[in-house]
């Protein structure tokens, strides 16, 4: 038997799990999320004896699912870092090799604990679910995904339970279903095993059905009109504008032209919302005399509508060290600032900051994304026409606690500004969209998302999704956004900071029960 056949014979179940997971992730139908881990976990429990073998099997699973679900990384490397395609593809393979190493680490931990404490197959299956979920929660990741997000993508009633346990909690439930099916497969000759599968199926259906009406009580009583403006600015145009070598005027003219059209189409709109870094200029009070800042403020006064926009910000000239920021500004129709600028808190590694760049400044010079930005001081809110607005920039939305803290600060609505133009037309825009929209369910606050190239939309606190923008087209749309003033806090908003530790408590409980049972057996044997 040749090496290729030997390889597939040894790792076929790990590879199958990778394919099942990779082909179930947004924007593909999540057809296999309930059993995607079963082949790997069954193999780890029945056919794996060494820790090295456990790691390699887990590694192949994570490599393959990352290669399928996050293939757009090569597009980013080519489009953003200007890597030739061979190097861009090598970047993708390197990312797939390292991105989700918590999966093989979880495999090693489970196999080691099984041998150390003589754990039953069922306990090991549950431990695998716990370790997977802990990895999703705490493993450092560029793009933190979990198995809860596909439930929102398909508008499952399950997603509406995100206001109780968060989408990470929903992912844990999906992992527990995988562990239950793994146990049933291991005990497939037992009638009890198949009865348990039936009970699980009933619980899944019950959670889905009861979730469908959960958002109704969050139906907004008041409303305001907001217009999302998507100018579809190309990447080269943005790069040249950021470097000050052209396109600043044409970019501003496109945004103001679309905004004037929007106001003419619906004069009742109260707030224009432009996306992340829409304005290729610094708009702080100490920068108002700059050429394109003056052009911007003239345009605002001409349109005469309040404007919430992404732009650049920097420290005052006397500040040392002086930093640039990826910022958000809120202006009234006369160009007056309605609060301080928000500075993006969660920066994208290499794209917006160089690791260790502050300790070794030369790293900022070598960084493919340029010298990058300073880091903001955290969540803040704007007061606007009696509302509290919680701003987010792009990557901020991938951190559930960031949106929790906006809500705890009193945000009535959240507004997310994003630029996904670097990531290509498929997979990443949908993935990023639903990871962002999940924050609205968890905290039961409306969320407005304005992007440069799509997908722009609004989701209400109920979970109702409004019309979505096309991708890579100029577009604007005015929404009537319903909200509850001073709405209550969800269970998740109150306690979400602790819910991610539940799998750790389950691990401790299982090991404690096992140790107590072992001790009792030893006493009885004497």
Question: What is the rounded distance in angstroms from the CA atom of residue 464 to the CA atom of residue 441?
Answer: 10
Taking residue 84's Cβ as centre, other Cβ atoms within 10 Å add up to 10
pLDDT > 80? residue 238: no
Per-position DSSP letters for 418-462, written without gaps between them: E--GGG-SSSHHHHHHHHHHHHHHHHT--EEEEESSS--EEE-TT
* Cα–Cα separations (whole angstroms), residue 429 to 72, 420, 469: 10, 6, 11
3-state SS string over 163-213? HHHHHHHHHHHHHHHHHHHHHHHHCCCCHHHHHHHHHHHHHHHHHHHHHCC
**CA–CA distance, 329 with 273 (Å, rounded to integer):** 10
- Give the Cα separation of 173 and 130 in Å (integer): 10
Residue 351 is predicted with a pLDDT of 65
Mean pLDDT across the chain: 91
Q: Tell me the pTM.
A: 0.93
For residues 368-375, give the mean pLDDT.
Answer: 70
pLDDT the model gives residue 237? 75
Q: Determine the 3-state secondary structure of 409 from DSSP.
A: coil
Residue 355 confidence (pLDDT) above 70: no
Rounded to whole angstroms, the Cα distance separating 9 from 168 reads 34
Q: What is the pLDDT, as a whole number, of residue 392? A: 98
Q: What percent of the chain is predicted at pLDDT more than 70?
A: 92
Of 394, 428, 430, 460, which one is the catalytic site residue?
394
Cis peptide before 295 (omega within 30 of 0): no
Residue 507 in tokens: 């691990």
Helix H or strand E encompassing 382 = strand 382-384
DSSP bridge partners of 230: 475
According to the model, what pLDDT value does residue 276 have?
Answer: 96
Band of the pLDDT at 524, cuts 50, 70, 90? low
Flag the least confident range among 69-83, 289-303, 309-323, 332-346: 69-83
Let me know if 344 is a catalytic residue.
yes
Beta carbons within 8 Å of 87's beta carbon, 6+ residues apart: 77
pLDDT given at position 361 = 62
**Domain 216-489 annotated CATH 3.30.300.30:** no
What's the pLDDT score for residue 1?
60
Catalytic residue status for 130: no
pLDDT of 112 strictly over 60? yes
* Residue for token pair 């889905």: 208
pLDDT surpassing 80 at residue 448: yes
Residue 367 confidence (pLDDT): 61
DSSP class of residue 104?
H
Q: CB atoms < 10 A from the CB of 360, how many?
A: 12
Domain ranges of the chain: 3-212+497-525, 216-489
**Residue position matching structure tokens 């829409």:** 278
- From 302, 387, 291, 294, select the one nearest 339 (Cα to Cα): 387
Out of 57, 237, 281, 344, pick the active-site residue. 344
For the segment 24-32, the average pLDDT, to the nearest whole number, is: 95
For 262-273, what is each residue's pLDDT tens digit? 999 999 999 999
Distance CA 377, CA 383 (A): 18
Using pLDDT thresholds of 50, 70 and 90, give the confidence band for residue 360.
low
pLDDT of 389 over the 80 cut: yes
Residue 373: the pLDDT is 77
The stretch 397-416 carries a mean pLDDT of: 97
Span 204-231, average pLDDT = 94
> Of 66, 75, 116, 133, nearest to 96 (Cα)?
66
Residue 513: the pLDDT is 86
Which pLDDT does position 207 carry in this prediction?
92
**Could you tell me if 294 and 286 are in contact, meaning their C-beta atoms sit under 8 angstroms apart?**
no
Query: pLDDT of 180-194, one tens digit each?
Result: 999 999 998 888 888
**92 pLDDT above the threshold of 90:** yes
Tell me which of 53, 136, 276, 281 is the catalytic residue: 276
Cα–Cα nearest to 279, from 298, 265, 264: 298
Could you identify the residue written with the tokens 């390292």? 98
Eight-state DSSP code of residue 233: -
Average pLDDT for residues 205-222, to the nearest whole number? Answer: 93
- What is each CA distance from 111 to 292, 319, 403, 481, in whole angstroms? 61, 54, 37, 51
Q: Say whether 394 is catalytic.
A: yes
């Amino acid at each position: 038997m040749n090496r290729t056949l030997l390889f597939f014979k040894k790792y076929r179940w790990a590879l199958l799990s990778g394919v099942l997971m990779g082909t179930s992730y947004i924007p593909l139908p999540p057809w296999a999320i309930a059993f995607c881990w079963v082949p790997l976990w069954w193999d780890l429990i029945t056919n794996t004896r060494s820790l090295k073998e456990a790691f390699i099997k887990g590694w192949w699973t994570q490599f393959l699912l990352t290669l399928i679900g996050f293939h757009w990384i090569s597009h980013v490397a080519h489009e953003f870092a200007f890597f030739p395609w061979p190097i861009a593809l090598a970047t993708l393979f390197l990312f797939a090799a390292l991105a989700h190493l918590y999966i093989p680490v979880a495999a090693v931990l489970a196999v080691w604990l099984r041998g150390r404490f003589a754990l039953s197959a069922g306990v090991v299956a549950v431990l695998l679910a716990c370790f997977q979920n802990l990895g999703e929660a705490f493993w450092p990741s560029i793009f933190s995904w979990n198995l809860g997000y596909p439930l929102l993508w398909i508008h499952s009633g399950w997603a509406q339970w995100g206001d109780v346990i968060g989408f990470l909690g929903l992912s844990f439930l999906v992992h527990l279903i995988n562990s239950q099916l793994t146990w049933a497969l291991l005990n497939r000759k037992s009638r009890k095993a198949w009865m348990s599968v039936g009970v699980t199926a009933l619980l899944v259906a019950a959670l889905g059905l009861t979730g469908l009406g959960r958002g109704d009580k969050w139906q907004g009583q008041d409303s305001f009109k907001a217009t999302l403006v998507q100018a579809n600015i190309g990447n080269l145009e943005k790069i040249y504008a950021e470097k000050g070598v052209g396109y600043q005027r044409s970019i501003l003219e496109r945004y103001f032209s679309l905004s004037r059209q929007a106001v003419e189409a619906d004069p009742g709109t109260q707030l224009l919302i432009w996306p992340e870094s829409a304005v290729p200029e610094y708009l702080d009070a100490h920068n108002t005399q700059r050429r394109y800042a003056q052009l911007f403020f003239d345009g605002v006064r001409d349109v005469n509508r309040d404007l919430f926009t992404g732009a650049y910000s920097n420290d005052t000239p006397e500040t040392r060290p002086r930093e640039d920021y990826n910022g958000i500004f809120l202006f009234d129709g006369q160009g007056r600032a309605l609060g301080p600028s928000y500075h993006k808190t969660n920066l994208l590694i290499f794209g917006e900051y160089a690791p260790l760049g502050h300790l070794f400044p030369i790293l900022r010079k070598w960084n493919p994304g340029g010298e990058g930005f300073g880091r903001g001081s955290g969540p803040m809110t704007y007061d606007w026409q009696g509302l509290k607005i919680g701003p987010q920039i792009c990557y901020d939305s991938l951190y559930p606690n960031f949106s929790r803290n906006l809500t705890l600060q009193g945000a009535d609505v959240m507004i997310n500004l994003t630029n996904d133009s670097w990531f290509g037309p498929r997979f990443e825009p949908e993935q990023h969209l639903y990871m962002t929209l999940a924050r609205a369910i968890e905290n039961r606050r409306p969320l407005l998302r304005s992007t440069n190239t799509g997908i722009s939309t609004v989701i209400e606190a109920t979970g109702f999704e409004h019309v979505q923008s096309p991708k890579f087209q100029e577009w604007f749309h005015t929404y009537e956004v319903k909200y509850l003033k001073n709405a209550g806090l969800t269970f998740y908003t109150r306690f979400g900071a602790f819910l991610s530790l539940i799998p750790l408590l389950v691990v401790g409980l299982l090991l404690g029960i096992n140790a107590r049972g072992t001790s009792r057996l030893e006493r009885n044997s004497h």
